[in-house]
Structure 1
Amino acid sequence: MYTDSSNVRIGCLATNMKSIFKSKPKTPAEIVCRTRDLLVFLNTNSSSTTFREAKREEKLLELSQHIRELKRILYGSTESEPVPEACAQLTKEFFKKNTQLLRLLIIFIPKLNLRACKDVTQVVANLQRQQVQSRLIASDYLDANKDLIDVLISGYEEEDSVLALAYGSMLRECIRHQSIARYVLESKHHMKKFFGFMNLPNFEIASDVSSTFKELMTRHKSTVAEFLTKNHDWFFIEYNSKLLENPNYITRRQAVTLLGEVLCDRTNSAVMMRYVSSMDNLRIIMNLLRETSSKNIQLEAFRVFSLFVVNPNMPSDVLGILVVNSNKLVRLFGGFNTDKEDKQFDADKAHILEIIAALEPKDHY
Structure 2
Amino acid sequence: MSFSFFKPLRPKTPQDVAKTIKDSLMALDTKTVAEVKALEKAMEEVEKNFATMRCMLSGDGEVEPNMDQVLQLAVEICKEDVLDLFINKLPILGWEARKDLVHCWSILLKQKVDSINCCVQYIEKHFELLDFLVVCYDNKEIALNCGNMLRECIKFPTLAKYILESPSFVLFFKFLELPNFDVVSDAFSTFKDLLTKHGTIVSQYLTAHYDEFFDLYEKLLTSSNYVTRRQSLKLLSEFLLEPPNSNIMKRCIQEVRYLKVMMMLLKDSSKNIQISAFHIFKVFVANPNKPGEVKLILAKNHEKLLDLLQNLSGKGADDEQFDEDKELTMKEIQRVSRLPNLAR
- Name 2:50's counterpart in structure 1: 67
The number of residues matched between the two structures is: 333
Within 2, Cα distance between the matches of 1:300 and 1:335? 15
The one-letter code matched in structure 1 to 2:43 is L
- Detail structure 1 runs of 4+ shifted over 6 Å in the superposition: none
Within 2, Cα distance between the matches of 1:294 and 1:123? 41
Equivalent of 1:100, from 76, 81, 87? 81
Within 1, Cα distance between the matches of 2:152 and 2:221? 27
Deviation at 1:275, TM superposition (A): 0.5
Within 2, Cα distance between the matches of 1:341 and 1:334? 19
Within 1, Cα distance between the matches of 2:104 and 2:307? 55
Is residue 125–residue 173 contact of structure 1 (8 Å, CA) maintained in 2? Answer: yes
Is residue 68–residue 119 contact of structure 1 (8 Å, CA) maintained in 2? Answer: yes
Q: 1:235 to 1:25 in 2, by over 3 A?
A: closer
Within 1, Cα distance between the matches of 2:177 and 2:342? 42
Q: Within 5 Å, give how 1:34-73 maps onto structure 2.
A: 34-43=20-29, 46-47=30-31, 51=35, 53=37, 55-73=38-56
- Name 1:156's counterpart in structure 2: 137
The one-letter code matched in structure 1 to 2:339 is P
Is residue 91–residue 132 contact of structure 1 (8 Å, CA) maintained in 2? Answer: no
Deviation at 1:333, TM superposition (A): 1.8
- Name 2:281's counterpart in structure 1: 305
Is residue 320–residue 361 contact of structure 1 (8 Å, CA) maintained in 2? Answer: no
- Name 1:240's counterpart in structure 2: 218
Deviation at 1:229, TM superposition (A): 0.6
Within 2, Cα distance between the matches of 1:41 and 1:364? 73
Equivalent of 1:89, from 69, 72, 75? 72
Within 1, Cα distance between the matches of 2:253 and 2:266? 15
Q: State the Cα deviation string for residues 318-362 of structure 1 (Å, max 9, x = none).
A: 111112222222222223222314222222222222222222435
Q: 1:319 to 1:32 in 2, by over 3 A?
A: same
Q: Secondary structure at the match of 1:42?
A: coil
Is residue 316–residue 362 contact of structure 1 (8 Å, CA) maintained in 2? Answer: no
Q: State the Cα deviation string for residues 185-233 of structure 1 (Å, max 9, x = none).
A: 112x323211111111222222221111111111111111001111111
Q: What is the root-mean-square deviation of aligned Cα atoms in Å? A: 2.0
- Name 2:254's counterpart in structure 1: 277
The one-letter code matched in structure 1 to 2:203 is A
Q: State the Cα deviation string for residues 71-113 of structure 1 (Å, max 9, x = none).
A: 22223332244332222122121222xx110111222222221
The one-letter code matched in structure 1 to 2:244 is T
Q: Secondary structure at the match of 2:24?
A: helix
Q: Secondary structure at the match of 1:338?
A: coil
The one-letter code matched in structure 2 to 1:152 is L
Is residue 43–residue 94 contact of structure 2 (8 Å, CA) maintained in 1? Answer: no
**What are structure 2's unaligned runs of at least 5 residues?**
1-8
- Name 1:4's counterpart in structure 2: none
Q: Secondary structure at the match of 1:199?
A: coil
Q: 1:324 to 1:100 in 2, by over 3 A?
A: same
The one-letter code matched in structure 1 to 2:174 is G
Equivalent of 2:323, from 346, 362, 365? 346
Is residue 266–residue 277 contact of structure 2 (8 Å, CA) maintained in 1? Answer: yes
Q: 1:80 to 1:324 in 2, by over 3 A?
A: farther
Greater Rg, structure 1 or structure 2? 1
Equivalent of 2:241, from 245, 264, 274? 264
- Name 1:127's counterpart in structure 2: 108
Deviation at 1:52, TM superposition (A): 6.8
Deviation at 1:153, TM superposition (A): 1.3
- Name 2:302's counterpart in structure 1: 326
Q: Secondary structure at the match of 1:128?
A: helix
Within 2, Cα distance between the matches of 1:352 and 1:81? 58
Within 2, Cα distance between the matches of 1:205 and 1:25? 37
Identity %: 36
